[in-house]
Structure 1
Amino acid sequence: MVALAANAALEGGADPEAVSNLTLAGSSEFLDNRAAVRELVLERLMVLVDQVVASREQRNSSLIERASKFIEANFSQDLTLQEVAQQVYLNPCYFSRLFKQVKGQNFIDYLTRVRLRAAKELLLNTNLPVAAIAERVGYHDARYFSQVFKKQEGYTPSVFRKIGGAKFEGSAG
């Protein structure tokens, strides 16, 4: 039973070296005691389950990091959850759940945060009109951009620029 579970764990991504250390070989002293064998098998199975879970979490974190890098490189485009999920070969529903689990926020909140961080940099370091900044960071409607900005930062983009981003360090983005 442990051997079958070990094979399944390997297929699930568990570390081969760790799995090879979990066989029942060398445990013959327990073979005459059913309770001890049961205990040993359960213990080994739990270790195998933990190995698979750890492997999956590492894989999932890696996929979400790839998705995050894609978002940060392409935030000025019309990005959708479906497009980003496709970049990491995941179903959009699963990607959405996984993204929230790994990042602690949903896809759209993360995209908004990335866009507003770029907008704040442009507001502070350029003389571009707010409408041009909105366009550059992925908002086609400057009024909507201003609403989102004010909701997140507490100031309109114009006011943020006028105060020189004095509260930039403590802002939500």
Structure 2
Amino acid sequence: MEPFRKPFYGDPLFPFHLIHRTLKFPNNELPDHLHDLYELVYIHEGNGTFFIDKSLYDKQPGDLFIIPGNTVHRSIPDEADPIISTAVFFGPTLAGAGANDDSYSLLQCFDFASKHKIYKFALPDPLRFTIESTLDVIQEEYKLQQQGYRAAIRLELGKLLLQLNRYLNQHFTSQPLDNKIGPSWIKSTLFEIDANPELPHSLVTFAERASVSQSHFSRVFKQFTGMNVTDYVNAKRIIRAKELLLQSDDNVSSIAETCGFTSIPHFHRIFKILTNTTPSAYRKKK
């Protein structure tokens, strides 16, 4: 049987989901599944088993599981002593993958887990305290969603990954973890789209420029953004459109054209999909 692909919904430009301190029972866990998002699972209480990439791991309090995107896994909590755990799901771009500065990657711990097929780490007490405190802060930001909460979550997630990377460097390898963030052509593509989302970007052009096949480019691009090229460009255009709707008096047609949409109906459809409202209704928020 093929593993189930777990879907995630929400803002594609903020690929983040948190399930905080949840009691887990065997009858409400998914079968073998995978997803594009990267996942961290921390065990607060209870016991059980984790199946990850053809291996079984015991689950105990203080264990952290690092699960790279598109890795088949399944949680099996103990019925008599069910698990209380926190699961953090995020897209690699949220951790800076694709940034122009390639001197350091927050995703080192995921690269290490994937390369060495080691997904479970029993954390020492000082690091457990740090991880639990950080998860509590992220939960508070995620729950209240006050102004700047997304920036706060990025910062806290970055701190958490930094602590994990330093721990792995110190205790699990004699060589520094790989610093590479990704292919240079992915970084330059993301930079180009971010700088000028209104231009007629295309997968064909990007793949030719990178000297890779379209299928390979598409696969790597989705790994780093969680979206295909068209969806990513549209999402960036809608962000710009939202800014113009609130900050200018230009009419909707003019804004659509400025943001790269050649069809007004297409602009309305994409705007509604990504914001769950119309451009005119969004503008009334001014």
Following superposition, the deviation at residue 59 of structure 1 comes to: 4.3
| C-alpha distance in structure 2 between counterparts of 1:102 and 1:151, whole Å | 22
5 Å-filtered alignment, 1:130-145, equals: 130-145=252-267
Greater helix content: 1
Q: Is the 8 A contact 2:197 2:237 kept in 1?
A: yes
Equivalent residue in structure 1 for 2:227, among 102, 105, 123: 105
- 1:63 alignment partner in structure 2: 185
Greater strand content: 2
Following superposition, the deviation at residue 58 of structure 1 comes to: 3.9
Following superposition, the deviation at residue 107 of structure 1 comes to: 1.5
Following superposition, the deviation at residue 151 of structure 1 comes to: 1.4
- Unaligned stretches of 5+ in structure 1? 1-46, 165-173
Q: Percent same amino acid at aligned positions?
A: 33
Letter in 2 for 1:94: H
| C-alpha distance in structure 2 between counterparts of 1:128 and 1:84, whole Å | 32
Deviations 1:82-133 (A, max 9, x none): 1122333322211000001122222122111111011111111111111111
Shift of the 59–149 alpha-carbon distance from structure 1 to 2, 3 Å rule, reads closer
Q: Is the 8 A contact 1:66 1:88 kept in 2?
A: no
Deviations 1:143-164 (A, max 9, x none): 2101110111011101100122
Following superposition, the deviation at residue 63 of structure 1 comes to: 2.4
| C-alpha distance in structure 1 between counterparts of 2:218 and 2:211, whole Å | 13
Q: Is the 8 A contact 1:96 1:106 kept in 2?
A: yes
| C-alpha distance in structure 2 between counterparts of 1:89 and 1:72, whole Å | 21
User: TM-score, structure 2 length as denominator?
Assistant: 0.36
State yes or no: 1:161 paired with 2:283. Answer: yes
Q: Is the 8 A contact 2:238 2:259 kept in 1?
A: yes
CA RMSD of aligned residues (A): 2.4
- 1:119 alignment partner in structure 2: 241
| C-alpha distance in structure 2 between counterparts of 1:161 and 1:149, whole Å | 12
| C-alpha distance in structure 2 between counterparts of 1:86 and 1:161, whole Å | 39
| C-alpha distance in structure 2 between counterparts of 1:139 and 1:145, whole Å | 6
Q: Is the 8 A contact 2:246 2:285 kept in 1?
A: no
Letter in 1 for 2:189: A
Shift of the 124–87 alpha-carbon distance from structure 1 to 2, 3 Å rule, reads farther
Shift of the 66–128 alpha-carbon distance from structure 1 to 2, 3 Å rule, reads same
**Count of matched residue positions in the alignment of Structure 1 and Structure 2:** 113
| C-alpha distance in structure 1 between counterparts of 2:208 and 2:185, whole Å | 11
Equivalent residue in structure 1 for 2:250, among 108, 111, 128: 128
Q: Is the 8 A contact 1:85 1:95 kept in 2?
A: yes
- 1:80 alignment partner in structure 2: 202
- 2:73 alignment partner in structure 1: none
| C-alpha distance in structure 2 between counterparts of 1:111 and 1:155, whole Å | 19
- 1:95 alignment partner in structure 2: 217
Deviations 1:47-77 (A, max 9, x none): 9xxx9xx58x6442x3211110111223212
